[in-house]
A and B are shown apart, each in its own frame.
Chain A
Amino acid sequence: MKAQLVVNPDRCTGCRACETACSFAHYEEFNPQRSAVRVSVFTNDAYFLPVVCLQCADAACVAVCPSGAMHVGEVDGNYAVLVDRERCVGCHMCVLACPFGCVEDDGAQSVRKCDLCAGDPACVRACATRALDYAPVGTVASARRKALAGRMKLEEGRQ
């Protein structure tokens, strides 16, 4: 399946279940600080945005990595940017290079980022509202088109 991790900010309620699910899947503890997905919360605006690695095609973190630890690979047949912890020298250049803040220091001379949980992302399983989804690329575009059309219909005052 050609799939990708999809964020639907309109659906996020700021519960942060994705954060505990991610840290549990990777470290067997509940700890938002060790989650690869983090929700930005703007309380009084009821605005919530989960931010997670976009798996860039031309990834700054890969380009800047001096040891080859940060590399392009495949997860469940899909393109992914991955960390080889054995090769990581802990220089944190990738942390500085990522424009989205999605690579972080992981203590023990390594970094962490989303690894797509071997094609069954824990954050997606924990998300009650499907603000996070793991979906075939084709359906993402079509769902977005339909959502846009729905919003325009509403704005024109048609129920």
Chain B
Amino acid sequence: MARAAAFGGWQGRLLRVDLEQGTARGEPIERAVLEKWVGGRGLGVWYLNQEVDPQVDALGPANKLIFATGPLTGTGTVAGSRQMLVTKSPLTGAVATSNTGGYFGAELKFAGYDAIIVEKAAAAPVYLWIDDDRVEIRAADDVWGREVGATTGILLGETHEDAKVMCIGPAGENLVKISAVMNDMGRAAGRSGVGAVMGSKRLKAIVVHGTQGVRVADPAGFMQAVQDVRDHELLNQYMTVTIAEYGTSDVVEFSDELGLLPTRNFQQGTFEGAAAIGGSAVARYNLKGVGKTKACFGCPTACGRVTAVEHGPFKGRGEGPEYETLGSLGAVCGVSDLEAVLKSNYLCNELGMDTISAGVTMACAMELVEKGYLSEGEVGRPLGFGDGAAVVELLQKTALREGFGDALAEGSYRLAERYGHPELSMTVKKLEFPNYDPRGGNGFALAYATQNRGACHIRNEVHCVEFFGISLLGITKEEGENVDRFSSDGKAEIAKQIQDYYCMIDSSGMCNFLVISMPHAAAFMGLVEKATGIDFGGLDGFLRVGEAIYNLERLFNLGAGLTAADDTLPRRMLEEPFVEGASKGHVPKLDVMLPEYYALRGWDAAGVPTAERLAELGVAGGAAL
């Protein structure tokens, strides 16, 4: 197969896989499409809108699973490791955009593809083996049912020792709605249940090995821009101090101090066990003799780690934990036994489940029991906040849909609804909350309520300007400053700007951690421009592309049946302020901010984008370029 011209960081083609027919063929991606939608999230969402009816059954053969890298993936930029999984989510019924790092995305580029589109479903379990232009769909009988580590080892043995593996665990196979797709063993495209979509297609894994280069439009300018980023003081501070030592695990105690560390299914914002599961406690479990962290492709920060529990009932080893896992499987479940949290993390990695949704779903069950809405007889064992052993046992049952695990496998919303109390599900659009309680910041609350994929922190990090002292887009005048987190003033504008900006980060192929530690947004835009050759016409033009992507997702959601009524928060967060901690007494003023936000977005009162705004953004009809 002739290779499309390599240009602009892109390889200029995708791999289209039809699992029913058993075919896989390369296909050029029009340059105009790449220039308009950039890559990653933008490109994936564009293909989703073009090719998938939003009304389809997310677990049926008409749904497609799209793996999309960005123009910076696999280049020499800092942290050009990311790829985006785009599909219709079985958990939310909305657009799923699930991002992952590690090495897989870069390797896919080296094999000569910007993206893979997986269509229909195989009759029996298969895996895809991509070795540059040679692509095979192979039987996966020997790995179906196996955990992620074992699957990875076996498939490397069957293919190439230097290949990279992306796969589902038992959870994805069993269509668990909170299942992840894992790659490079411990990295996860975690959110929105993308593992179940892969499972519904009986696609156990994709294994890739590539030997082709990635070229950029302005090589010298690009490498100079990369060097400028490397030399920047803020990046160095970030990577050598803030993140490098503890990864994100140090955020546990920080959030606790701010009174927004979700605890016991978000009933409290402070956790007495915060220190027990915080950064310095976790560091004691770093793999023996390893005094360093672990990086994704091209990343100078290296926020990952491998830990091990050497003895006892929670013995195990694996990648993690990071902050969200410590929060969800720790504080949210009231668990302060760090070894139990570590074991839960290892299990989620091996079974292929989202640690956030798993923890928050477990906590929902705990509160249902606490309130007397669910009996321990139905659960099949005692279940209360703080019981780490119960979490460990139920995680396994969830992945296998055994006993009560079958109810947990549906996620927090369906679980709470089943027992008559959907208000106890801590979700937006049925996606479980990560670990910054919206009562701790108004902008953050608005971003959660309106984010296209549901309650998500990483598509709109308003917490950067509300409490991390990171100035994102110059929103605060100085690094280290924050805007008033309890005020709703100006937050609609801030949330919109950050959401649009993150569409661009997620489309570039770079990790947002590294983008937010760059000197300013223009430096990031410069990297994308020098790689692709696109002239965005300044930062405003750059953000307009992000806004177009955001609206494309919104159109998909509206087509899928979501409405303005879904742009909200659980009642608890709107009506029940915390009674202690640094965020006590506050609830977000969503009713004030939401109309302002719709107006800024050019959406009508029903939350539908106006034709004028869509035309301005070049999103006419939702499908055109």
Contact = CB atoms under 8 A, between A and B. Distances in A.
A96 B615 CA distance: 62
B297 interface: yes
A44 B317 contact: yes
Contact of B294 (A11, A14, A23): A14
Contacts of B213: 23, 27, 29-31, 34
What are the 7 A-B residue pairs with the smallest beta carbon separation, nearest first?
A: A29-B213, A128-B300, A31-B213, A15-B295, A13-B302, A20-B76, A46-B306
A86 interface: no
Interface of B: 74-76, 78, 103, 110, 149, 184-186, 210-216, 219, 223, 227, 230, 239, 287, 290-302, 305-306, 317-319
A32 interface: yes
A45 B290 CA distance: 9
A13 B295 contact: yes
Specify which of A11, A31, A128 lies most central, judged by the most chain B CB atoms within 10 Å of its CB: A128
A21 interface: yes
A129 B35 CA distance: 35
Given A30-B214, A44-B317, 15 more contacts: A13-B292, A13-B299, A13-B302, A14-B302, A15-B300, A16-B103, A20-B298, A29-B213, A29-B215, A30-B75, A30-B213, A41-B103, A47-B290, A125-B227, A126-B230
A26 to B, nearest CB: 11
Contact of A24 (B219, B230, B291, B318): B219
A46 B294 contact: yes
Interface of A: 10-17, 20-21, 23-24, 27-34, 41, 43-48, 125-126, 128-129
Contacts, number: 96
A65 to B, nearest CB: 25
Contacts of A23: 213
A110 B300 CA distance: 33
A138 B208 CA distance: 43
A47 B295 CA distance: 11
A36 B295 CA distance: 20
Nearest to B287: A46
Given A30-B213, A126-B76, A44 B306 contact: yes
Nearest to A46: B306
A17 B298 CA distance: 5
B294 A13 contact: yes
5 contacts: A13-B299, A21-B76, A27-B213, A43-B306, A43-B319
B290 A17 contact: no
A34 B287 CA distance: 32
A15 to B, nearest CB: 4
Nearest to A32: B110
Contacts of A11: 292
A16 B184 CA distance: 14
A33 B212 CA distance: 8
Contacts of A12: 292
A131 to B, nearest CB: 9
A31 B292 contact: no
B594 to A, nearest CB: 41
A40 to B, nearest CB: 10
A43 B164 CA distance: 11
B300 A17 contact: yes
B287 A29 contact: no
A44 B102 CA distance: 13
A17 B227 CA distance: 12
A72 B214 CA distance: 32
Nearest to B300: A128
Contacts of A15: 295-300, 302
Contacts of A24: 76, 219, 223
Contacts of A128: 230, 239, 300-301
Contacts of B287: 45-46
A34 B74 CA distance: 13
Contacts of B103: 16, 41
B437 to A, nearest CB: 32
Among A14, A15, A24, which residue has the most Cβ atoms of chain B within 10 A? A15
